[in-house]
């Protein structure tokens, strides 16, 4: 992979560190980039150099005994490169300005057409640094890795243009992604891990957690992070050692590595336009201030009418990053400031019918791909936040305002040892307002029958019930589909303050081979508030649905009472208020042992302790006293008391992996990991006295192969995952009482599967990238007794398939490169097999296929035009049912209707990029 001013790192050092004593060199004349690789092996150092400045030049032969510095000076004589920094383990080269002017101008990296897949280096290319899942930063070949990793280059990000952070992980095998929630608030699962959100997959920036606990209630990690042009590449570790290096990451970690002004210069501005009012501006500038200082600044701003138009601007906001880097010898210092102020819509399930075959289908009067229940009448609604009157504002969506300041440093201690330190401070405030549909659509007649008993008791002179539109008092129209639905207008506020710090010592030791050892201590403190209120509305089932009132009429046809109040069925159907603080301490130790040139073993451990301190407000149901309506009879609000929570949880995990290199192109590995997931503080936001939360033990075994050659790159991993004593909660909204009912059961899960990543390059104009996951996940020991109609009933879900996880996920990307690589066209095909939306496996979600198209054209050496089309065929692909209807068994669709959340309709985006 050729990167302008990118890292090209040569060989694993064969000694602890370079010495200034003389060495014997024998480097034949060759391409300069290849000669530098051979030199690095013989010198026992890393060499970082601008690859494009070396590739294609012919080196002179180097032979004899001399010091490393003298030998390198001879090798570089007249080549336009010179040493910028030099220490015991690492040498950095830079291009000499005069030589750069003399040679033909290279195409700027940012203007080059990207590839749809991350091209693994061939044996003739420089080895890459893998910084994720390892404690050391020495270069390593894919054939020597002992765990599964997917690397997504900047070029691949540019070409595929994922519309959200979560959707990026569709390119990672082993991950099941539900990105149908919009740009934030989505779900990612790894290797059959049966938990939602980001509770088992961590995000990191340059190796530091973006958010210590990615599963905080209503604060998923993807709400705290956006991809922009300041990201250089992404490394995703699937399972393996991820849980040793990162908190709350048993399923894996996605590490976003940012650009550095020391590694590249120049910049880019990109304008993007799309249908439904989409407009975005991206840009970055990288500057080398001196040989030792570099600066990067960049970010984005975006406005969007919405993936399903709600009648107002759905998304608006952006992100800004400024990063200053310093490197001198083996020491480094980095200061990174990132500010996010972005508002995006959270998309929820849509109404669907059940066909004769029992599978979901569109219903009359509502397009599930384009229509939205949200609209002008639900935009601003008077509600109560506890006992305080307020106005619910749906346009706030998921609004995150966040500032994160990160300080990282490395100190060369000599003798092959380094000290690494990192500190991140974060201050954020997140609101999350959304319209959550409840129950299932029902006819107006069925709805009135369900409330008739309550209405007759409250209003004895009731003669008949009627439905009226709130806006004009007209009778409810049954012309389209005659359906009504409940909808919760939910508002959540989660401000979070967080400090993360880590100190790490790494060293290279000798004894029966080479040992790269690490010992680190990490601490974290974070505190947040959780405030939530909700009102339950009554809506027609239509695009931009109108509010409906259910009223009691007397014999004269006059209104004598109302079940609703201006379309609200119940004020205060939820109220919660909690204050939580968490202190965490983690200790990590690891050893990468190079036994021989072909055999490597690595093992490590992590011990972690979390202490949760907080309090949760008590609540009571209050009647506001309006006799004309039932909507205010049971308003939940604070009762003036609070319940404290104090608990301490610990976990210990370890992992051991081995790799054997059969050839420079081919390596096999095996790994066994015992990890854990500590209880999240947010599990106690609404139930501080619950006793069903304990440390969850997780076991994962892996066996894999990595093959990297010029025409074919292949990575395949067989895995097995087992969870024990995992709490499963059934969070069901009772439409009769307009209140949530929750129950929790403890069970186990087991998943066996295989992941495949391949890139086939038979010719210079065609390649095919494939990612595939085949897995079988099942519940174990999932049996309990529940009371139905005053009688005990045994429920046994053991052996059922895990909810919403397909057995087969397949992604294939054929690509052609034409006109000397100036035009690239790639077709993306994704297939997801049938899933179930409930643990009882009673509601199937059909298999579906998505087709996408990416086109990139290099108009000049600096101007690129690209087009991206998603869901080209407008497939109705359902990613989940409606979790608010319960996750154990779905009985809310008995009337032939249900809710499920689909993929978005076809969308077109066109980009014009200028590199400079």
**Mean pLDDT of the region 728-747:** 81
Name the more confident of 74 and 476: 476
Q: Is 627 exposed, middle or buried (0-12, 13-18, 19+ CB in 10 A)?
A: exposed
- Using the structure block, give the residue that is written with the tokens 């869901």: 871
Cβ atoms < 10 Å from Cβ of 140: 21
SS3 letters across 442-508? EEHHHHHHHHHHHHHHHCCCCCEEEEEECCCCCECCCCCCCEEEEEEEEEEEEEEEEEEEEEEEEEE
Give the model's pLDDT for residue 128: 55
Provide the CATH topology of domain 266-915.
Maltoporin; Chain A (2.40.170)
The answer to whether residues 421 and 502 touch, using CB atoms and an 8 Å cutoff, is yes
Name the more confident of 107 and 690: 690
H or E element, residue 537: strand 514-540
- Among 158, 248, 156, which Cα is nearest to 210's? 248
H or E element, residue 38: helix 32-43
∠ CA 389-490-582, nearest 5°, is 100
- Among 229, 239, 444, which Cα is nearest to 323's? 229
**In the chain, count of helices (H) and strands (E)?**
8, 51
DSSP 593-616: EE-SSSEEEEEEEEEEEEEEEEEE
Check pLDDT > 80 for residue 196.
no
Give the model's pLDDT for residue 357: 83
Check pLDDT > 60 for residue 355.
yes
Average pLDDT, rounded, for the chain? 88
Q: What count of residues does the chain have?
A: 916
Band (281; pLDDT cuts 50, 70, 90): very high
Check pLDDT > 90 for residue 793.
no
Give the model's pLDDT for residue 548: 96
- Among 435, 544, 539, 540, which Cα is nearest to 481's? 540
**Mean pLDDT of the region 152-158:** 92
Give the model's pLDDT for residue 535: 96
Give the model's pLDDT for residue 70: 79
User: Mapping DSSP to helix (H, G, I), strand (E, B) and coil, where does residue 823 land?
Assistant: strand
Q: What is the pLDDT of residues 876-908, one digit of tens each?
A: 999 988 877 777 877 644 578 889 999 999 999
Band (193; pLDDT cuts 50, 70, 90): confident
Check pLDDT > 70 for residue 199.
yes
Give the model's pLDDT for residue 212: 95
**Mean pLDDT of the region 269-280:** 95
H or E element, residue 408: strand 398-414
- Helical segments of 78-174, H only: 97-102, 154-160, 165-168
Q: What CATH number does domain 1-106 carry, 3.40.50.300, 3.30.1360.120, 1.20.120.1200, 3.55.50.30?
A: 3.55.50.30
CA distances from 87 to 18, 84, 173, 253 (A): 8, 11, 39, 31
Q: Which of 66-70, 254-258, 376-380, 812-816 has the lowest mean pLDDT?
A: 66-70
CA 135 to CA 420: how far, in whole Å? 10
**Mean pLDDT of the region 834-844:** 90
Q: Return phi, psi of residue 98, to 5°.
A: -65, -40
Q: Which of 19-23, 265-269, 402-406, 866-870 has the lowest mean pLDDT?
A: 19-23
Band (2; pLDDT cuts 50, 70, 90): very low
- Using the structure block, give the residue that is written with the tokens 């947010």: 682
For the chain, state the CA radius of gyration.
29
The answer to whether residues 54 and 79 touch, using CB atoms and an 8 Å cutoff, is yes
Q: Which of 241-250, 391-400, 574-583, 648-657 has the lowest mean pLDDT?
A: 241-250
Q: 831 is written with which tokens?
A: 């297939």
DSSP 350-384: EEEEE-TTS-EE-BTTB-TTT--S--GGGTEEEEE
DSSP 292-339: SEEEEEEEEEEEE--SS--SS--EEEEEEEEEEEEEETTEEEEEEEEE
User: Mapping DSSP to helix (H, G, I), strand (E, B) and coil, where does residue 651 land?
Assistant: strand
Give the model's pLDDT for residue 283: 97
CA 517 to CA 508: how far, in whole Å? 6
**Mean pLDDT of the region 577-598:** 95
DSSP 197-256: TTSSEEEEETTEESSS-TEETTEEGGGS----TTEEEEEEEESTTHHHHSTT-SSEEEEE
Give the model's pLDDT for residue 10: 38
Give the model's pLDDT for residue 894: 57
* Per-residue buried b or exposed e for 783-816, using 16+ beta carbons within 10 Å of the residue's own CB: ebeeeeeeeeeeeebeebbbbbbbbebbbebbbe
**Mean pLDDT of the region 663-686:** 93
Q: Return phi, psi of residue 306, to 5°.
A: 125, 150
Give the model's pLDDT for residue 373: 95
* Per-residue buried b or exposed e for 642-669, using 16+ beta carbons within 10 Å of the residue's own CB: beebeeebebebbbbbbbbbeeebbbbb
- Among 119, 121, 144, 123, which Cα is nearest to 134's? 144
Give the model's pLDDT for residue 21: 52
H or E element, residue 280: strand 278-288
Sheet with 231-238: list strands edge to edge: 148-153, 231-238, 252-258, 201-205, 208-209
CA 762 to CA 134: how far, in whole Å? 33
Check pLDDT > 50 for residue 784.
yes
- Among 666, 671, 640, 632, which Cα is nearest to 654's? 671
Check pLDDT > 50 for residue 47.
yes
**Mean pLDDT of the region 430-446:** 93
Return the domain boundaries, the chain: 1-106, 266-915
Name the more confident of 129 and 751: 751
Band (478; pLDDT cuts 50, 70, 90): low
The answer to whether residues 132 and 238 touch, using CB atoms and an 8 Å cutoff, is no
- Among 692, 674, 675, 695, which Cα is nearest to 684's? 692
Q: Which of 183-187, 703-707, 823-827 has the lowest mean pLDDT?
A: 183-187
Q: 175 is written with which tokens?
A: 């991950």
Check pLDDT > 60 for residue 843.
yes
Check pLDDT > 90 for residue 688.
yes
DSSP state of 645: E
**Mean pLDDT of the region 451-479:** 91
Band (404; pLDDT cuts 50, 70, 90): very high
């Amino acid at each position: 992979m050729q990167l302008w001013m990118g890292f090209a790192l040569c060989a694993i050092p064969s000694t602890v560190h370079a010495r200034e004593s003389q060495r014997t060199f024998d480097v034949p004349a060759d391409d300069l980039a290849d000669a530098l690789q051979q030199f690095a092996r013989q010198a026992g150092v890393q060499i970082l150099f601008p690859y494009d400045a070396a590739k294609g030049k012919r080196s002179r032969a180097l032979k004899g005994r001399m010091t490393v510095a003298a030998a390198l000076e001879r090798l570089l004589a007249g080549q336009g490169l010179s040493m910028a920094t030099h220490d015991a383990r690492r040498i950095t080269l830079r291009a000499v300005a005069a030589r750069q002017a003399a040679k033909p101008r290279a195409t700027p990296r940012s203007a080059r057409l990207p590839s749809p897949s991350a091209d693994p280096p061939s044996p003739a290319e420089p080895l890459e640094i893998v910084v994720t899942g390892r404690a050391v930063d020495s270069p390593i070949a894919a054939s020597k890795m002992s765990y599964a990793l997917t690397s997504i280059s900047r070029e691949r990000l540019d070409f595929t243009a994922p519309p959200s952070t979560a959707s990026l992980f569709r390119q990672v095998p082993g991950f099941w992604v539900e990105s149908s929630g919009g740009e934030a608030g989505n779900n990612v699962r790894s290797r059959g891990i049966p938990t939602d959100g980001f509770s088992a997959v961590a995000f990191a920036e340059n190796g530091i957690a973006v958010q210590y606990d990615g599963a905080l209630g209503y604060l998923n990690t993807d709400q705290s992070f956006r991809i922009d042009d300041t990201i250089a590449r992404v490394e995703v570790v699937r399972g393996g050692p991820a849980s040793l290096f990162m908190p709350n990451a048993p399923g894996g970690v996605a590490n976003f590595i940012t650009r550095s002004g020391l590694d590249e210069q120049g910049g880019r501005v990109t304008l993007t336009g799309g249908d439904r009012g989409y407009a975005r501006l991206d840009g970055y500038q990288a500057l080398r201030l001196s040989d030792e200082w570099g600066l990067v600044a960049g970010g984005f701003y975006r406005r969007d009418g919405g993936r399903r138009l709600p009648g107002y601007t759905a998304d608006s906001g952006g992100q800004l990053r400024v990063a200053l880097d310093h490197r001198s010898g083996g020491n480094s210092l980095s200061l990174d400031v990132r500010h996010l102020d972005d508002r995006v819509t959270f998309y929820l399930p849509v109404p669907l019918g059940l066909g004769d075959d029992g599978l979901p289908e569109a219903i009359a009067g509502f397009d599930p791909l384009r229509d939205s229940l949200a609209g002008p009448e639900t935009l601003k609604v008077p509600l109560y936040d506890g006992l305080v009157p307020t106005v619910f504002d749906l346009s706030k969506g998921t609004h995150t305002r966040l500032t994160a300041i990160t300080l990282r440093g490395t100190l060369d201690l000599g003798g092959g040892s380094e000290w690494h330190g990192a500190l991140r401070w974060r201050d954020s405030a997140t609101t999350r307002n959304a319209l959550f549909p409840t129950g299932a659509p029902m006819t107006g007649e069925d709805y009135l029958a369900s409330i008739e008993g309550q209405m007759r008791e409250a209003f004895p002179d009731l003669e008949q019930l009627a439905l009226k539109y709130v806006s004009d008092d007209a009778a409810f129209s049954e012309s389209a589909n005659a359906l009504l639905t409940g909808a919760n207008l939910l508002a959540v506020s989660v401000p979070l303050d967080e400090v993360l710090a880590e100190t790490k010592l790494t060293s290279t030791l000798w004894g029966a081979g080479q040992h790269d050892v690490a010992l680190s201590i990490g601490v974290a403190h974070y505190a947040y508030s959780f405030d939530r209120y909700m009102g339950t509305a009554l809506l027609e089932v239509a695009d931009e649905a109108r509010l409906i009132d259910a009223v009691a009429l007397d014999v004269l046809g006059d209104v004598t009472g109302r079940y609703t109040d201006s379309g609200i069925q119940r004020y205060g159907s939820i109220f919660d208020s909690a204050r939580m603080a968490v202190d965490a301490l983690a200790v990590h130790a690891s050893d990468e042992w190079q036994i021989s040139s072909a055999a490597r073993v690595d093992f490590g451990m992590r011990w972690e302790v979390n202490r949760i301190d907080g309090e949760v407000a008590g609540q009571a149901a209050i009647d506001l006293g309006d006799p004309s309506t039932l909507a205010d009879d049971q308003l939940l609000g604070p009762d003036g008391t609070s319940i404290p929570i104090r608990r301490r949880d610990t976990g210990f995990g370890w992992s051991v992996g081995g790799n054997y290199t059969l050839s420079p192109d081919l390596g096999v590995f095996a790994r066994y990991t015992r990890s854990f997931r500590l209880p999240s503080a947010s599990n106690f936001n609404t139930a501080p006295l619950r006793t069903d939360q304990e440390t969850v033990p997780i076991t994962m075994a892996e066996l894999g192969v990595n093959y990297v050659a010029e025409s074919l790159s292949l990575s395949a991993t067989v895995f097995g995952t087992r969870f024990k004593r995992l709490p499963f909660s059934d969070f069901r909204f009772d439409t009769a009482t307009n209140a949530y009912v929750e129950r929790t059961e403890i069970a186990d899960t087991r998943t066996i599967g295989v992941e495949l990543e391949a890139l086939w390059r038979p010719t210079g104009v065609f390649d095919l990238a494939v990612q595939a996951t085949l897995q079988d996940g099942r519940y174990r020991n999932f049996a309990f007794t529940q009371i139905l109609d005053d009688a005990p009933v045994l429920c046994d879900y053991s052996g059922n398939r895990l909810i919403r996880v397909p057995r087969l996920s397949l992604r294939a990307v054929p690509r052609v490169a034409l006109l000397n690589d100036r035009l690239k066209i790639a077709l993306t095909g994704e297939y997801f097999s049938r899933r179930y939306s409930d643990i009882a496996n009673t509601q199937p979600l059909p298999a579906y296929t998505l087709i996408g198209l990416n086109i990139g054209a290099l108009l000049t050496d600096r101007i690129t035009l690209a087009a991206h089309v998603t869901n080209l065929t407008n497939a109705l692909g359902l990613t989940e049912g409606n979790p608010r209807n319960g996750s154990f068994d779905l009985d809310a669709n008995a009337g032939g209707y249900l809710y499920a959340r689909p993929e978005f309709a076809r969308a077109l985006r066109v980009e014009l990029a200028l590199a400079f």
